[in-house]
Amino acid sequence: MPAVSKGDGMRGLAVFISDIRNCKSKEAEIKRINKELANIRSKFKGDKALDGYSKKKYVCKLLFIFLLGHDIDFGHMEAVNLLSSNKYTEKQIGYLFISVLVNSNSELIRLINNAIKNDLASRNPTFMCLALHCIANVGSREMGEAFAADIPRILVAGDSMDSVKQSAALCLLRLYKASPDLVPMGEWTARVVHLLNDQHMGVVTAAVSLITCLCKKNPDDFKTCISLAVSRLSRIVSSASTDLQDYTYYFVPAPWLSVKLLRLLQCYPPPEDAAVKGRLVECLETVLNKAQEPPKSKKVQHSNAKNAILFETISLIIHYDSEPNLLVRACNQLGQFLQHRETNLRYLALESMCTLASSEFSHEAVKTHIDTVINALKTERDVSVRQRAADLLYAMCDRSNAKQIVSEMLRYLETADYAIREEIVLKVAILAEKYAVDYSWYVDTILNLIRIAGDYVSEEVWYRVLQIVTNRDDVQGYAAKTVFEALQAPACHENMVKVGGYILGEFGNLIAGDPRSSPPVQFSLLHSKFHLCSVATRALLLSTYIKFINLFPETKATIQGVLRAGSQLRNADVELQQRAVEYLTLSSVASTDVLATVLEEMPPFPERESSILAKLKRKKGPGAGSALDDGRRDPSSNDINGGVEPTPSTVSTPSPSADLLGLRAAPPPAAPAAPSGAGNLLVDVFSDGPAPQPSLGPTPEEAFLSELEPPAPESPMALLADPAPVADPGPEDVGPPIPEADELLNKFVCKNNGVLFENQLLQIGVKSEFRQNLGRMYLFYGNKTSVQFQNFLPTVVHPGDLQTQLAVQTKRVAAQVDGGAQVQQVLNIECLRDFLTPPLLSVRFRYGGAPQSLTLKLPVTINKFFQPTEMAAQDFFQRWKQLSLPQQEAQKIFKANHPMDAEVTKAKLLGFGSALLDNVDPNPENFVGAGIIQTKALQVGCLLRLEPNAQAQMYRLTLRTSKEPVSRHLCELLAQQF
Amino acid sequence: MIKFFLMVNKQGQTRLSKYYEHVEINKRTLLETEVIKSCLSRSNEQCSFIEFKDFKLVYRQYAALFIVVGVNDTENEMAIYEFIHNFVEVLDEYFSRVVNNV
């Protein structure tokens, strides 16, 4: 170890520093400094050439003055001069000064670079290291441009000394991080990997850091590092505690290097080579074994270093997530740490276990520690440890322990730190919904949440409970009863009043039979809270009152009295005043029937994602909810936790996290269509209905189904000549549709409204209506983040010759979408003639500076322009026969992807647009439909027949239209839906 | 990955700072103030890791001196924690009596 010798010190510098320290006041210090600056300036400007020692001393003084916070505007040249000195101490001071006070004077830069170049070429390892350190410390782009190419060469040169290699590796790492484009990849990369084999542990350590960074960008180029890292790790792990001399830390061999090697391995999947993998597993086992051995030293440094390796080993085991044995052992080890007296270990163990909980192999093992974790939540004195415990409980929660965990979290909430209350509330709300076995438990839980931590219950949470209660009639009575009881508490939170007001307004009638909760009692209970509430809540309560008038006519007089009171009718708040006036008038003017219609019970909410989860994610940043959406899903949860949609026609989503994506609700791709030849084999399966009639000769033009070709020019050229609006960019400007685009499109074949797309940033909702060959579509773009989207630009693009088939007029929308805001875009659509591909919707915007772009298929399919046609059986068969050319028919036989429910099928066919004809098909199981596709240029008559076979769980779908591509296209579209 | 390395005394004066990611000079002072504030507010019973903004702080206290390392979330907290001690031991080797209780 090089000692700092006192004799080498510069006396003048020491005196100056002690003078400064002895200064009694700021003024005295400044005075002393100015004196010194004048002195140095005169020395530098003097005639007498200064020797190296003096230069070094003065440069040091300048540096010291600079570090005290004063500006230095001279001395750079003298420092640069020092760089070319042959004395280490002088050169070192020169570099030190340059590194701290980089001057952008180009003349100086040239000189500095020159000096560095000389030192790099000097073959003197100390000088080379000084130069490398300077490059790394400055780390500027200019430095990178000048030297990035030289350093790899030094790094892999056979004759470089260890210390130089070490510095070169770290210098290169620094330059690569600053400007990756400047570091040329090349032949040296292969040789860098071999530094993992280097004799010198310092070189290995530096090389691992470099490779870990480089391999993230080019994993394939560095793949060979896996086996080298494994063998290096194996040698370290199995070495005796004294083998590595300097690199042994309190009897632990090379702990930091081990950690780095384990981290490097986490950049890759498990090794493919069985031998390498075997060796690695052996290493991991050794580390786990060592944790159980008695420590070689009682010192805490020993166990800390050992545990550092252990935690990184566990990270790697979790990263691989493929060795059940190791995962369970890791879990047991962490379980021991959960009760360790060191807070640090408890914290880290909880944190690691959180990721273990999401592995299917160790989830059960993690669950065994539930009592310890709950205990931690109750007794830990450190809030960050408690927070980890809460996170872990959330991650380990499943159907089996949800009740216990939710009730513990509720209990914790009463004493929880304010900073994390909202997060706990969200987590409880999510778990309660996700794992609700019965919804009365869910309602109880949420009402408890409001009771315990009402201030932290965000709108999302209480909205959600209302959605769920509205959509599930089995829980409505219970909910009404429970909120009624909750409202009887002398002081209840305003959120409780909101939920209570809404639920009683909708379902108060369900408990009105009980004299204890008769209508007047309900009303006076709610009204007793009225005056304590905010405007928003009072507005909500006014709506409840008018609903009461409808539900309970006997309360009408009382409520009218309340509405008529001056405090309502002349309320200073416009909203309240308006409600009071309108409701009062409504109640007195409207007849009972009208009232009943206007104030009807709210319809079920449309299928919607849980906004709570989105909120939690927003709070915690991306990836925070990962413990929840880990993909472990309980199939049995479908029926009850299927989100809020009550209709069986929508695919129920098993968890709120799945809901959030919105994509999973799309039907899975249809089973591949049976080859046409196979159709014959299946005929007997399906042949309950009449066999297709033999053709009686095509006379389509006589039927109503004939194409009503207008005399307008039909040639594509003529249409192309028509100058189309050029507002939309050409298709070459937009990317290909996202992979899910087809699935998303399929969702909308049979319906016109819903959520078209959703990710973490953006939600796109669609509302559309079609009549004849015209359509209007409203697109709603919702910004889900709290950050404004900029340059927001949704455009509709017509790929191919769609331009001639479909006209879509769009209005521009505002280029900025504020966080949380929604903008609406109206599209006017005209179908000119039949088309096969939907237009593309391209959405581009900037989010936090990063450009985002997204291309979707606009849910406009040819069937939207269907006009249903009713006809008798006789007419149907006549037309069916007329359309008997082979190319007019399209048929598909396919497996059912959804339960075969006749009502659902009917709804889908109607949604598809055709009329459903009863009593046409002799087999009542079959569906028959007819309609005309309206386009500007022509009309296409369509007949369809769907034959379900419940036994085989298959369908046969037959389409006949007067246009061949339309038959095929409709058949494809419709077949996806069942 | 280490973002920065700080030595700050109890009075909140920065004694040494080294940044491995670019942080503007004026923002450094602000950051250092916040960092030391969150370290000072902790008791001995609390763990040595603090979630701070979008990264973590690992800190150790030696008498009146705090050594605080800012790391990203893939870093091994325990390794950094012990690394601080190693660093202090090395300093002590060179300069002796770096902090009284090492």
Q: What is the pLDDT of residues A757-801, one digit of tens each?
A: 888 788 888 888 888 888 888 888 888 888 888 888 888 888 777
- A803 and A820 within one domain: yes
Could you tell me the residue range of the domain that residue A902 belongs to? 863-976
What percentage of residues in chain A have a pLDDT greater than 70? 86
- A896 and A877 within one domain: yes
Task: Judge contact between A367 and A396, C-beta under 8 A.
Answer: yes
pLDDT of B86 over the 80 cut: yes
The answer to whether B49 contacts A344, with C-beta atoms less than 8 Å apart, is: yes
Task: Judge contact between B9 and B16, C-beta under 8 A.
Answer: no
Question: What pLDDT was estimated at residue A572?
Answer: 85
The answer to whether B46 contacts A315, with C-beta atoms less than 8 Å apart, is: no
Given A833, A860, A887, which residue is the final one in a domain?
Answer: A860
- Asked if the C-beta of B78 comes within 8 angstroms of chain A's C-beta atoms, the answer is yes
The domain that holds A429 is classified in CATH as 1.25.10
The answer to whether B77 contacts A344, with C-beta atoms less than 8 Å apart, is: yes
Given A829, A860, A891, which residue is the final one in a domain?
Answer: A860
Question: What pLDDT was estimated at residue A440?
Answer: 86
* pLDDT-derived band at A226, boundaries 50, 70, 90: very high
- A430 and A548 within one domain: yes
- Asked if the C-beta of A259 comes within 8 angstroms of chain B's C-beta atoms, the answer is yes
Chain A environment of B95 (Cβ under 8 Å): 4
Distance from C-alpha of A227 to C-alpha of A277, rounded to nearest angstrom: 9
The answer to whether A344 contacts B81, with C-beta atoms less than 8 Å apart, is: yes
Question: What pLDDT was estimated at residue A609?
Answer: 62
What percentage of residues in chain A have a pLDDT greater than 90? 29
Residue A517 lies in a domain: yes
- Asked if the C-beta of B49 comes within 8 angstroms of chain A's C-beta atoms, the answer is yes
- Asked if the C-beta of A312 comes within 8 angstroms of chain B's C-beta atoms, the answer is yes
Q: Which of A160-164, A214-218, A924-928 has the lowest mean pLDDT?
A: A924-928
Distance from C-alpha of A977 to C-alpha of A861, rounded to nearest angstrom: 13
Of B48, B50, B76, Cβ closest to residue A311: B76
pLDDT of A971 over the 90 cut: no
Six-digit token string for A501: 């007001």
Beta A754-758 vs A762-771: how paired, if at all? antiparallel
Binding residues of A: 11-12, 43, 53, 57-61
Residue A651 lies in a domain: no
- A879 and A855 within one domain: no
Q: What is the pTM of this model?
A: 0.64
pLDDT of A477 over the 80 cut: yes
pLDDT of A685 over the 60 cut: no
pLDDT of A380 over the 90 cut: no
Which of B46, B52, B61, B86 is the best residue to mutate to test the A interface, defined by the most A CB atoms within 10 Å of its own CB?
B46
- A573 and A445 within one domain: yes
Nearest CA in chain B to A313: B76
Question: Can you list the alpha helix ranges (DSSP code H) found in A46-124?
Answer: 52-67, 76-83, 88-100, 106-120
pLDDT of A558 over the 80 cut: yes
- Asked if the C-beta of B76 comes within 8 angstroms of chain A's C-beta atoms, the answer is yes
Six-digit token string for A16: 């100056």
Chain B nearest C-alpha distance from A67 (Å): 11
Chain A environment of B49 (Cβ under 8 Å): 344, 347-348, 384
Question: What pLDDT was estimated at residue A328?
Answer: 92
Chain B environment of A249 (Cβ under 8 Å): 82, 86
Q: What share of chain B is helix, strand, coil (3-state, %, to 5)?
A: 35, 30, 35
Task: Give B8-63 pLDDT, tens digit per residue.
Answer: 988 888 988 999 888 888 899 999 999 999 999 888 888 999 988 889 999 999 98
Chain A nearest C-alpha distance from B48 (Å): 6
Six-digit token string for A936: 């500007």
pLDDT of A696 over the 80 cut: no
Given A578, A598, A618, which residue is the final one in a domain?
Answer: A598
Which phi and psi angles does A767 have, rounded to 5°? -135, 130
- A574 and A441 within one domain: yes
Which of A344, A352, A417 is the best residue to mutate to test the B interface, defined by the most B CB atoms within 10 Å of its own CB?
A344
The answer to whether A259 contacts B79, with C-beta atoms less than 8 Å apart, is: yes
Instruction: Using CB atoms within 10 Å of the CB of residue A32, give its burial: 0 to 12 exposed, 13 to 18 middle, 19+ buried.
Output: middle
Which of A138, A215, A256 is the best residue to mutate to test the B interface, defined by the most B CB atoms within 10 Å of its own CB?
A256
Cα distances from A918 to residues A266, A541, A563, A693, A900, in angstroms, run: 63, 48, 52, 19, 19
* pLDDT-derived band at A242, boundaries 50, 70, 90: low
Mean pLDDT of A403-432: 87
Residue A404 lies in a domain: yes
Instruction: State the residue for tokens 């700050």.
Output: B8
Mean pLDDT of A598-627: 66
Query: Does residue A247 sit in helix, strand or coil?
Result: helix
Terminus-to-terminus CA distance in chain A, angstroms?
78
Of A305, A348, A382, Cβ closest to residue B82: A305
pLDDT of A359 over the 90 cut: no
Question: What pLDDT was estimated at residue A672?
Answer: 39
For domain B2-95, the CATH architecture is 2-Layer Sandwich (3.30)
Sign of CA dihedral A390, A393, A397, A402: negative
Residue A185 lies in a domain: no
- A909 and A785 within one domain: no
pLDDT of A205 over the 90 cut: yes
Chain B nearest C-alpha distance from A216 (Å): 13
Query: Does residue A851 sit in helix, strand or coil?
Result: strand
Residue of A571, A582, A515 whose CA lies nearest to A549: A582
Question: What pLDDT was estimated at residue A287?
Answer: 95
pLDDT of A282 over the 90 cut: yes
Of A259, A307, A344, Cβ closest to residue B48: A344
Query: Averaging pLDDT over each range in A662-671, A832-841, B2-11, which range is the top one?
Result: B2-11
Cα distances from A669 to residues A21, A91, A739, A965, in angstroms, run: 78, 71, 12, 21
Distance from C-alpha of A608 to C-alpha of A765, rounded to nearest angstrom: 11
Distance from C-alpha of A830 to C-alpha of A215, rounded to nearest angstrom: 53
The answer to whether A249 contacts B82, with C-beta atoms less than 8 Å apart, is: yes
Question: What pLDDT was estimated at residue A972?
Answer: 84
- Asked if the C-beta of A341 comes within 8 angstroms of chain B's C-beta atoms, the answer is no
- A459 and A553 within one domain: yes
* pLDDT-derived band at A8, boundaries 50, 70, 90: low
HSE of A291 in the Cβ direction (CA atoms, 13 Å)?
23
Beta bridge partners of A846: A790, A851
- A842 and A908 within one domain: no
CA A957 to chain centre: 39
Residue A485 lies in a domain: yes
pLDDT of A701 over the 70 cut: no
- A776 and A762 within one domain: yes
Terminus-to-terminus CA distance in chain B, angstroms?
26
Of B46, B74, B78, Cβ closest to residue A308: B78
Mean pLDDT of A288-306: 92
The domain that holds A767 is classified in CATH as 2.60.40.1230
Nearest CA in chain A to B55: A621
Query: Does residue A669 sit in helix, strand or coil?
Result: coil
Question: What pLDDT was estimated at residue A728?
Answer: 41
Question: What pLDDT was estimated at residue A748?
Answer: 84
* pLDDT-derived band at A587, boundaries 50, 70, 90: confident
Query: Averaging pLDDT over each range in A163-167, A732-736, A856-860, which range is the top one?
Result: A163-167
* pLDDT-derived band at A608, boundaries 50, 70, 90: low
Chain A environment of B47 (Cβ under 8 Å): 343-344, 346-347, 382, 384-385
Ramachandran class of A41: left when φ > 0, alpha when ψ lies in -120 to 50, beta otherwise? alpha
The answer to whether B82 contacts A301, with C-beta atoms less than 8 Å apart, is: yes
- Residues, chain B, total? 102
Question: What pLDDT was estimated at residue B99?
Answer: 66
State chain A's mean pLDDT as an integer: 81
pLDDT of A102 over the 80 cut: no
Task: Judge contact between A106 and A115, C-beta under 8 A.
Answer: no
- Strands (E) in A784-879, as ranges, are 789-797, 806-810, 822-831, 840-847, 850-857, 866-868
Mean pLDDT of A642-646: 40
**Number of domains composing chain A:** 3
Question: What pLDDT was estimated at residue A241?
Answer: 64
Question: What pLDDT was estimated at residue A724?
Answer: 39
- A919 and A931 within one domain: yes
- A476 and A442 within one domain: yes
Q: Which of A245-254, A263-272, A620-629, A788-797 has the lowest mean pLDDT?
A: A620-629
Mean pLDDT of A82-86: 92
Task: Give A890-913 pLDDT, tens digit per residue.
Answer: 888 888 888 788 888 888 888 888
Query: Averaging pLDDT over each range in A105-109, A541-545, A817-821, A965-969, which range is the top one?
Result: A541-545
- Asked if the C-beta of A620 comes within 8 angstroms of chain B's C-beta atoms, the answer is no
- Asked if the C-beta of B51 comes within 8 angstroms of chain A's C-beta atoms, the answer is yes
The domain that holds A905 is classified in CATH as 3.30.310.10
Mean pLDDT of A270-282: 94
Chain B environment of A208 (Cβ under 8 Å): none
Nearest CA in chain A to B20: A174
Residue A9 lies in a domain: no
* pLDDT-derived band at A645, boundaries 50, 70, 90: very low
Residue A970 lies in a domain: yes
Buried/exposed A880-911: b ≥16 CB within 10 Å, e otherwise: bbbbbeeebbbbbbbebbbebeeebbebbbeb
Residue A447 lies in a domain: yes
- Asked if the C-beta of A754 comes within 8 angstroms of chain B's C-beta atoms, the answer is no
Task: Judge contact between A767 and A822, C-beta under 8 A.
Answer: no
Distance from C-alpha of A426 to C-alpha of A84, rounded to nearest angstrom: 65
pLDDT of A25 over the 60 cut: yes
